[in-house]
Amino acid sequence: MKHNLNFFPLILLSFFSYSQSSFEGVISFTKKFTSKDSLENVRIEKENQFKLMEGDSIKMFYSKLGHIKHKYLNSSESGIEYYLILSNGTRVRKLKTGNIDNPIKKIKFLGKFRTENQIVMGMNCECYQYKFKTPTIKLFTETFCFNKSTPLIDYKLFSLENNLIDRDFFETAERPFLKHTIESQNYLIDYTAYQLKIENVPIEEFK
């Protein structure tokens, strides 16, 4: 059975019938990368390089077991194919060339903040910011937005290992995010949902 949500406000629909288990389904996002470089030609080049590597949209597959898969759409032949986050904290990024790595960042967490609401898919969404730094970047800000009328997520399925920010957001929201932004001093990446489907996702999708 599928429920398909596009650009219209939710009226709680029949989500309550799914509240006994963690959300399983697919959320589709547009993706935009904006360079902050002062030179226009450099900005354009960096934005084109990002699109070649990561494409212009993404599908996120959620498993009721706590696994998440980011599937990159319209990336180049040498771009990223998918990014997999397992419930135990394991992360795997696979390129279309076949190369695989485990992109775990060493971060220093600086704080979590409530920020202004945003409208996504016609819904008024609560938003939270996480600030942290890495050995190479002085300050990262990640913002997640969600709406309480979307399906529940069981945050206890997500390991704290290598998964601090994801786990904390899901514990706060108990819902999937509908908007996610990543900002540094050099760029801004914006993921905005335009479709949510409740459906069974084969376990093979996460292998």
CATH of the domain at 150: 2.50.20
Q: Tell me whether residue 18 is in a domain.
A: no
Residue 36 has pLDDT above 90, yes or no: yes
Q: Is residue 131 part of a domain?
A: yes
- Over 80: is that where the pLDDT of 162 sits? no
Confidence of residue 166 (pLDDT cuts 50, 70, 90): confident
User: Which secondary-structure segment (H or E) carries 83?
Assistant: strand 80-85
Domain assignment of residue 36, yes or no = yes
Where is average pLDDT lowest: 47-61, 77-91, 144-158, 160-174?
Answer: 160-174
Q: Report the distance separating Cα 109 and Cα 136, nearest Å.
A: 14
Question: Is residue 6 predicted with pLDDT exceeding 70?
Answer: no
What confidence category does residue 161 fall into, taking pLDDT thresholds of 50, 70 and 90?
low
Query: Is 17 inside a domain boundary?
Result: no
Mean pLDDT for the stretch of residues 80-107: 84
Q: Are the C-beta atoms of 112 and 96 separated by less than 8 Å?
A: no
- In this predicted structure, what is the pLDDT of residue 167? 82
pLDDT attached to residue 183: 95
Gap between the Cα atoms of 128 and 187, Å rounded:
19
The reported pLDDT for the residue numbered 103 is 64
Task: Examine residue 15 and state whether it is found in any structural domain, yes or no.
Answer: no
User: How much is the pLDDT for 7?
Assistant: 40
The range of the structural domain enclosing residue 50 comes to 3-8+23-206
**179, part of any domain:** yes
**What per-residue confidence (pLDDT) applies to 13?**
42
What is the pTM for the complete model shown? Answer: 0.85
Q: According to the model, what pLDDT value does residue 157 have?
A: 87
Residue 14 included in any domain: no
Q: Quick check: is 13 in a domain? A: no
Total of domains in the chain: 1
pLDDT band at 106 (very low <50, low <70, confident <90, very high): confident
Please give the average per-residue pLDDT across 108-137, as a whole number.
93
- Positive or negative, the CA dihedral 207, 81, 70, 197 is negative
